[in-house]
C-alpha cells in the first residue's frame, strides 16, 4: 500500500511548486506553501514512522500533496547531491517521473 490518490495525481513539477522558501520563515529553509511547516519537519516525522494520516490530522492545513511534495523535494536534492563540495547546486530541471512518490506504507490507508 502507498499514499492514496484522490483524482488525478499532480505531476512532480507541480508538487515541487508547493515547496517554497522565505528568509523570514525558518531562516529560508524549504517550507510548504509559505506556511510555517518545514519540509525537514515532515521528512523527520516520516522517517520516525509517523503515519501520513497522523501528520495530516496533526497539521490540518496540510494536504496529501504537500507530503508528496516533501518526498519529491528530498528526492530532487539527493538526485543532485555530490561528494564534491565545490560543486554548486543550482539545477532543478530534472525528471522526477522515475521516483515513485507513493512509497509510504500505511496499514490504515486503502487502495487509492
For residue 46, what is the domain's CATH number? 1.10.10.10
Q: Note whether residue 70 is domain-resident.
A: yes
What is the reported pLDDT for 89? 42
What is the reported pLDDT for 3? 54
What is the reported pLDDT for 91? 44
Do residues 41 and 50 touch, judged by C-beta distance below 8 A? no
Q: Note whether residue 73 is domain-resident.
A: yes
Greatest C-alpha distance within the chain: 45
Q: Note whether residue 40 is domain-resident.
A: yes
What is the reported pLDDT for 74? 94
Q: Note whether residue 110 is domain-resident.
A: no
d(CA 51, CA 65): 15
Q: Note whether residue 53 is domain-resident.
A: yes
Q: Which three cell numbers stand for residue 12?
A: 512532480
What is the reported pLDDT for 94? 42
Q: Note whether residue 37 is domain-resident.
A: yes
Q: Which residues of the chain have pLDDT under 50?
A: 1-2, 4, 83-112
Q: Note whether residue 6 is domain-resident.
A: no
> In the chain, which residue ranges form alpha helices assigned H by DSSP?
12-16, 39-47, 52-58, 64-79
Number of domains in the chain: 1
d(CA 74, CA 2): 17
What is the reported pLDDT for 11? 85
Domain residue limits at 54: 12-79
Q: Note whether residue 68 is domain-resident.
A: yes
Amino acid at each position: 500500500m502507498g499514499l492514496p490518490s484522490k483524482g488525478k495525481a499532480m505531476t512532480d513539477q507541480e508538487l515541487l511548486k508547493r515547496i517554497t522558501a522565505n528568509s523570514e520563515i525558518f531562516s529560508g529553509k524549504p517550507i510548504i506553501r509559505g506556511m510555517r511547516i518545514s519540509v525537514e519537519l515532515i521528512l523527520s516525522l516520516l522517517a520516525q514512522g509517523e503515519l501520513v494520516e497522523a501528520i495530516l490530522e496533526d497539521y490540518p492545513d496540510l494536504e496529501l500533496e504537500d507530503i508528496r511534495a516533501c518526498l519529491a523535494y528530498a528526492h530532487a536534492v539527493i538526485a543532485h547531491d555530490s561528494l564534491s563540495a565545490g560543486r554548486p547546486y543550482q539545477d532543478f530541471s530534472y525528471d522526477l517521473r522515475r521516483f515513485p512518490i507513493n512509497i509510504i506504507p500505511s496499514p490504515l490507508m486503502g487502495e487509492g
